[in-house]
Amino acid sequence: MLLHLHPENPQPRNIKTIVECLNDGGTIIYPTDTIYGLGCNIFQHDAIEKVCRIKNIQPAKAQLSFICYDLSDLSNYTKSISTPLYRMLKTYLPGPYTFILPASKQVPKILKSKKDTIGLRVPDNIIAQTMIKELGHPILSTSLPGEMVEEYTDPELMYENFKNIVDIVVDGGIGGITPSTIVDCTQEPPELIRKGLGEWAEA
């Protein structure tokens, strides 16, 4: 299914359709503030395995992240955040960043890496935020498979490529081609892992 959503005022009926799909174990392609993501419900074990099959990766070894609604939502999925770290996250979020943090017990075991960490994001994208708010918890997210970034900006083209693989392609307009900036916050000072769309002044 290809669902068109208004980027600034997403239609509630279409959001409801997406949330029902996620709760039923469906997989979606959806817009963020960077590139389009491949996602599912973090509590749907079969959906997580399906996302990993699409990407041809092992769940625990995968670079999967949680798309959170806001900082308080994010804080549920990491161990206690120090005041300096909280201030730093507040400076950069919402925005095009993925922060690697120690995973809390709320993170399903299938998704914890060997280092017991998780990537957490709060994108500056109204469609993504509205979906997560209605769902009531984060969406699991990863990049689409392959290297053809140009093909992953046009929702109609993505629908043609993935209509037999995912349940819904959420059309929120043309997407970006630059992924998020990844910062490892499990060490001091935080380390820049990948330079993406977000500027990183700490490096």
pLDDT given at position 85:
92
Residue 200 lies in a domain: no
pLDDT per position as a tens digit, 46-67: 999 999 999 888 776 777 899 9
| Amino acid making up residue 59 | P
Which pTM value belongs to this model? 0.92
Asked if 73 contacts 132 with a C-beta cutoff of 8 angstroms, the reply is yes
Handedness of CA 134, 58, 77, 125 (dihedral sign): negative
| Average pLDDT, 10 consecutive residues per value, the chain (203 residues) | 95 97 98 96 94 84 86 91 92 96 88 80 97 96 82 91 96 94 92 94 62
Residue 92 lies in a domain: yes
pLDDT given at position 203:
47
How many independent structural domains does the chain possess? 1
Residue 166 lies in a domain: yes
pLDDT given at position 4:
96
| Amino acid making up residue 10 | P
If we measure between CA atoms, which residue out of 139, 125, 123 comes closest to residue 64? 139
The CATH number for 46's domain is 3.90.870.10
Residue 100 lies in a domain: yes
From residue 119, how far is each of 72, 129, 148, 168 by CA, in Å?
15, 17, 23, 24
Handedness of CA 121, 127, 133, 137 (dihedral sign): negative
In the chain the beta strands, taken as DSSP E runs, fall at: 2-4, 27-30, 37-41, 65-67, 97-102, 117-121, 139-143, 168-171, 181-184, 191-194
- Could you tell me the residue range of the domain that residue 80 belongs to? 2-194
